[in-house]
Amino acid sequence: MKQIIKAYDTTLRDGTQAEDISMLADDKVRIARKLDEFGITYIEGGWPGSNPKDMNFFRLMRDVRLEHAKLTAFGSTRKHENTVDTDPNLQAITESGVSVATIFGKSWDFHVTNALNISLDDNLETIEDSLAYLKGRMDEVIYDAEHFFDGYKHNPEYALATLRAAAAGGADCLVLCDTNGGSLPFELEEIIPMVRRQLPDIELGIHVHNDSEVAVANTLIAVRCGATQVQGTINGFGERCGNANLVSIIPNLQLKMGYQVMTPENLQQLTWLSHYVDEIVNKQHNTHQPFVGLSAFAHKGGIHVSAVQKDPLTYEHISPEWVGNRRRVLVSDLSGRSNIIYKAREYNLDVGDEAQTRSILERIKEMEDRGYQYEGAEASFELLVKKTLGTYKPFFGLMGFRVIVEKLRRNRAPLSEATVMVRVNKRIEHQAGIGDGPVDALDKALRKALEQFYPVVKDVKLTDYKVRILSSDRGTKAVTRVLIESRDKDGNKWGTVGVSGNIIEASWQALVDSIEYKLLKAGINDHL
């Protein structure tokens, strides 16, 4: 039977200490529910003794039934001048309503004498009696040995003494912390077995930060050395450079090292969970994040794509479906014929014979040489393929557009107005639109001109707009690439691209592709 590793998530506590992360109590409740559904063993909800928001979270969680996870409250050992009965931090933990507590204490003698300003023996006493107090009132108590590895490297005898004090107080698990994130894997490989020999009968955990970019590696090494609890955050959120990333740790442990962290079915929700947490905290998801990023299983080079079509193992370390991700093939100036064929299959496109495929490939390379990019604009790619093959019929023709930006007063925003003239079925339509900016005004005018012919245009919403300067050395004459993301009422999303020395023209190209792609997918047969 596979050894079970317990996943301890501290996104709601340590993760919120990241510079750009903020969560309301309700946000934390939503994330806690999803972590429980995912199969996390422990969810660290926060520090109830430190702020009202965390106390409110624990109050809200009293009405939430967790099916799998144990909710934990975090805090520190008592202050030296307090007794356990009067220490506000310990009292807040016991009043939080949870049955599992996690408290931290000092393992590094440097911190004891210079930060706490107490004796080494006094620190050992506060650790032991704080653990004993909580153990008498909670089902389970976890001890985080803060700065353990730095402490061990400076004074190994004392660092081990702090662990013995925690064990004597009744700790169920001793978590070795690399709080400054400066230790390297080979150091953990030497230190943890020493701890294991000194304390053979107690569970060990690992909690590391990513300041040296080895938090995931350190966590995996710790498990190999005997740790059975792994602490971290979703997407590696955390103070400074972040915490160990559970999104990478969990699949590595389960898929590559043979441990059991959760069911295979739950692991398939990993990509969804990673994106969900980013959405809640309003962060752009890292497209290059291992396992779950949009680019994690994306193939661009023609040789790569040709090999992946024969066997995905040639350029993929796992099957993307195991973690809920998917394989993507990109088209670019590095593409080969295999990319075009693979991509065409995704859209059920018939690219014809080899000569036609080559024609499409040459057209794509020609367009990318001019600055177009189809990696994030797959709707424009599909339209390009159809146009190159001569199978595309336009839905409308442009007769002209005009955009005016006018600022009337210093303390008012500029006014943007656009007029568009199009031809549909021999009818000419002329409409105007006012928007927050020139592109918004142009978008509104185009829709007004087309909606009476194609009502489905009302369903399309522009959801993202990105501008990239391609030749910054030319100053205001630079070529501009515009990427637009659109969405319809059914939740379908697609990207389009435009390129021009004029940003309005580039935006127009992307807008037109967006509308025409929607009409194409809607099965409209009324063409120009």
- The total number of residues written for the chain in this structure: 528
pLDDT of residue 387: 85
pLDDT of residue 407: 84
Is the CB of residue 519 less than 8 Å from the CB of residue 395? yes
pLDDT tens across the length of the chain (528 residues) = 689 999 999 999 999 999 989 898 999 999 999 999 999 999 999 999 788 889 999 999 999 999 999 999 999 999 999 999 999 999 999 999 999 999 999 999 999 999 999 999 999 999 999 999 999 999 999 999 999 999 999 999 999 999 999 999 999 999 999 999 999 999 999 999 999 999 999 999 999 999 999 999 999 999 999 999 999 999 999 999 999 999 999 999 999 999 999 999 999 999 999 989 988 888 878 989 999 998 888 777 666 666 766 777 787 899 999 999 988 766 554 455 566 666 556 555 555 566 777 777 777 777 877 888 776 688 888 888 888 888 888 899 999 999 999 888 888 888 899 999 999 988 999 999 998 889 999 999 999 999 989 999 999 988 888 888 876 566 666 788 898 989 998 888 898 999 998 999 999 999 999 999 999 888 876 555
Full DSSP string of 62-76: TT---SS-EEEEEEE
Say how many Å lie between the first and final Cα of the chain, rounded. Answer: 66
Sequence-distant (6+) residues with CB within 8 A of 314 are 304, 307, 308
CA distance 184 to 196: 19
Is the CB of residue 374 less than 8 Å from the CB of residue 332? yes
Q: Determine how many CB atoms are found less than 10 A away from the CB of residue 34.
A: 16
Sequence-distant (6+) residues with CB within 8 A of 364 are 331, 332, 333, 335, 340, 374, 381, 384
Is the CB of residue 161 less than 8 Å from the CB of residue 199? no
CA distance 445 to 418: 6
Calculate helix-pair angle for 156-168, 120-135, nearest 10 degrees. 30
Sequence-distant (6+) residues with CB within 8 A of 242 are 18, 209, 210, 215, 233, 236
Look-up: residue for tokens 């947490």? 277
Please state which of the four CATH numbers 3.40.640.10, 3.30.9.10, 3.20.20.70, 3.40.50.150 is assigned to the domain occupying 6-262. Answer: 3.20.20.70
**Helices first, then strands: H and E counts in the chain:** 18, 16
pLDDT of residue 336: 55
Is the CB of residue 416 less than 8 Å from the CB of residue 436? yes
Sign of the Cα torsion 352, 356, 357, 363 reads negative
Q: Which token pair is 413?
A: 């925003």
Q: Could you say which DSSP state residue 77 is in?
A: P
CA distance 196 to 185: 17
pLDDT of residue 301: 64
Is the CB of residue 169 less than 8 Å from the CB of residue 163? no
Q: Which token pair is 144?
A: 């985080």
CA distance 175 to 228: 10
**Cα 498–Cα 504–Cα 509 angle in degrees, nearest 5:** 30
Report the candidate in 471, 493, 468 with the shortest Cα–Cα distance to residue 483. Answer: 468
Report the candidate in 205, 201, 170 with the shortest Cα–Cα distance to residue 42. Answer: 205
Q: How many CA atoms lie within 13 A of 361 on its CB side?
A: 18
pLDDT of residue 333: 47
Angstrom distances, CA of residue 49 to CA of 74, 103, 149: 9, 12, 27
Question: Regarding the domain delimited by 397-521, which CATH topology (the fold level of the hierarchy) does it fall under?
Answer: Double Stranded RNA Binding Domain (3.30.160)
CA distance 32 to 358: 51
Q: Which residues pair with 103 in a beta bridge?
A: 75, 143
pLDDT of residue 362: 74
Sequence spans of domains, the chain: 6-262, 397-521
Is the CB of residue 260 less than 8 Å from the CB of residue 3? yes
**Burial class of residue 31, CB neighbours in 10 A (0-12, 13-18, 19+):** buried
Q: Could you say which DSSP state residue 2 is in?
A: P
Q: Could you say which DSSP state residue 142 is in?
A: E
pLDDT of residue 342: 60
Calculate helix-pair angle for 270-280, 25-38, nearest 10 degrees. 180
Q: Could you say which DSSP state residue 456 is in?
A: G
Q: Which token pair is 352?
A: 């014809």
Look-up: residue for tokens 């040459």? 362
Report the candidate in 323, 177, 181 with the shortest Cα–Cα distance to residue 249. Answer: 323
What Rg do the C-alpha atoms of the chain give, in angstroms?
29
Angstrom distances, CA of residue 148 to CA of 108, 174, 250: 6, 11, 23
Is the CB of residue 11 less than 8 Å from the CB of residue 237? yes
pLDDT of residue 344: 59
pLDDT of residue 356: 72
pLDDT of residue 334: 47
Is the CB of residue 417 less than 8 Å from the CB of residue 390? no
